[in-house]
């Protein structure tokens, strides 16, 4: 049966136009100008998608959105307004709307938003667990001997207490980017949704498309860049279920993971009524060459990372070892360490179309003899950031990790290569 779309707007012309557009795309539609009637229709017919105006004669659109979400937490709702503000858009997204469209609406906007919202709903629909999807994807990468064991932990699964919006620049795109994070139920996993296309991409190594200067996930021609800093904070916080909607690239913020940690604490991290699964390494895995670039992952009862870094002056050789005892230790020792780049590499980055969002306050710029743009937060901030990246990249295994990691001169490409070795691809 064709998918049913409920259209709620107090302008008859909008109701007619949207109905025709969606009918041409093979959707069934039902319309109303009343927020109260919209709730009754939703209770009775459970439409697959709702287009909902902010301004209604009988009831505020945001109140109607809240009531629909209370009826059905998985409801796919697209808000519309001809005179809304950025604050209204942000509030509607925080309340669970999939998207926000400004009037006058174009055909492309309507069709794209509808397809994106319905794809997101399908990914998160009851009976289609994203966790099961992750497991299926892992099977594609398994060697005959199978993956290391998944162990049920005494630690609960976790998500966030409420939705939130984070704005910033993309480090490599240079574009302003927005990110919405929303809680998910136990067993869901971590998923990205691209905006405005609505393409669903799991936080899994199988979706990695590029590792040049950052980790990029991709599906169906849609990319999400620079996921490692956010994933590092989520790994440390033990957040296992989360939906992340983003335009192209995760905001770089100050170039570290500290702002992500602080936002998680501000929103609240909540334990869920289900034990989490942890990935416990069963034997020694390695990529690279001893004496050169070398990355080793081996069995351990806790998660620890030891990293050796060596660059010409002014960085020199740095070594650091971090054990993930708790979130606060990560927030104190690793999260503040910022990404860094070299003055000599700027022409090449520009040729590659990368680094366009680099500002004096969101990364460390290293010249021939000194750090050019900032005071270091730690004398060994560079090696700490390498550990931050490893913790983020390795969360693409799909589960919190228990292992001892030893790294020497490695980067994103090696972090992804070791995961594919572990999963047997």
Please indicate whether residue 172 is annotated as part of the active site: no
Q: By the 8 A CB rule, do 258 and 378 touch?
A: no
Q: By the 8 A CB rule, do 288 and 295 touch?
A: yes
Task: For residue 350, give the nearest of 207, 172, 182 by alpha carbon.
Answer: 172
Strand partners, 285: 297
Catalytic residue among 98, 172, 229, 412: 412
Q: Which residues contact 9 (CB under 8 A, 6 or more apart)?
A: 15, 18, 31, 33, 51, 52, 53, 56, 80
CA quadruple 216, 329, 409, 377: dihedral positive or negative?
A: positive
Does a cis peptide bond (omega within 30 degrees of 0) precede residue 182? no
Q: Is 213 left (phi over 0), alpha (psi -120 to 50) or beta?
A: left
98-111 CB burial, b ≥16 within 10 A, e <16: bbbbebebeeebbe
346 is written with which tokens? Answer: 């700027």
CA quadruple 16, 125, 40, 88: dihedral positive or negative?
A: negative
Q: Which residues contact 302 (CB under 8 A, 6 or more apart)?
A: 323, 324, 325, 402
C-alpha span between 416 and 422 (Å, rounded) = 10
Quote the distance between the C-alpha of residue 414 and its chain's center.
21
Q: In this structure, are strands 77-81 and 364-366 parallel, antiparallel, or unpaired? A: unpaired
Angle formed at CA 425 by CA 236 and CA 408, multiple of 5 degrees: 50
Q: Which residues are catalytic?
A: 412
């Amino acid at each position: 049966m064709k998918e049913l779309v409920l259209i709620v707007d107090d302008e008859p012309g909008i109701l007619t136009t949207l109905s025709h557009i969606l009918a041409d795309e093979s959707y069934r539609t039902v319309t109303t100008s009343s927020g109260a009637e919209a709730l009754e229709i939703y209770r009775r017919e459970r439409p697959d998608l709702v287009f909902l105006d902010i301004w209604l004669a009988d009831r505020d659109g945001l109140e109607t959105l809240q009531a629909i979400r209370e009826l059905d937490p998985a409801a796919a709702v697209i808000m519309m307004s001809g005179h809304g503000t950025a604050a209204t858009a942000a509030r509607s997204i925080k309340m669970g709307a999939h998207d926000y469209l400004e009037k006058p609406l174009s055909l492309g906007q309507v069709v794209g938003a509808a397809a994106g919202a319905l794809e997101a709903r399908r990914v998160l629909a009851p009976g289609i667990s994203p966790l099961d999807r992750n497991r299926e994807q892992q099977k594609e990468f398994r060697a005959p001997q199978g993956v290391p064991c998944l162990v049920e932990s005494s630690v609960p699964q976790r998500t966030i207490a409420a939705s939130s919006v984070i704005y910033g620049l993309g480090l490599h795109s240079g574009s302003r980017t927005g990110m919405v994070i929303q809680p998910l139920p136990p067993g869901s996993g971590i998923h990205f949704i691209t905006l405005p296309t609505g393409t669903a991409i799991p936080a899994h190594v199988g979706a990695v498309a590029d590792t040049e200067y950052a980790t990029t996930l991709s599906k169906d021609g849609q990319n999400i860049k620079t996921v490692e800093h956010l994933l590092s904070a989520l790994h440390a916080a033990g957040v296992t279920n989360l939906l992340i909607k983003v335009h192209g690239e995760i905001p770089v913020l100050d170039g570290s993971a500290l702002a992500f940690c602080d936002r998680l604490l501000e929103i609240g991290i909540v334990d869920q009524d289900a034990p989490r699964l942890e990935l416990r390494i069963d034997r020694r895995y390695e990529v690279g060459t001893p004496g050169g670039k070398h990355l080793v992952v081996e069995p351990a009862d806790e998660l620890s990372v030891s990293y050796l870094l060596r660059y010409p002056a002014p960085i020199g050789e740095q070594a650091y070892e971090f054990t993930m005892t708790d979130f606060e230790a990560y927030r104190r020792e690793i999260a503040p360490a910022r990404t860094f780049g070299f003055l000599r590499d700027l022409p090449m980055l520009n040729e590659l179309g990368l680094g366009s969002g680099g500002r004096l306050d969101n990364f460390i710029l290293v010249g021939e003899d000194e750090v050019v743009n900032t005071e270091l937060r730690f004398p060994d901030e560079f090696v700490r950031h390498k550990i931050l990246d490893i913790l983020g990249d390795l969360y693409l295994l799909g589960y919190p990790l228990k292992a001892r990691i030893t790294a020497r001169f490695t980067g994103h490409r090696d972090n992804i290569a070791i995961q594919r070795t572990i999963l047997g691809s």
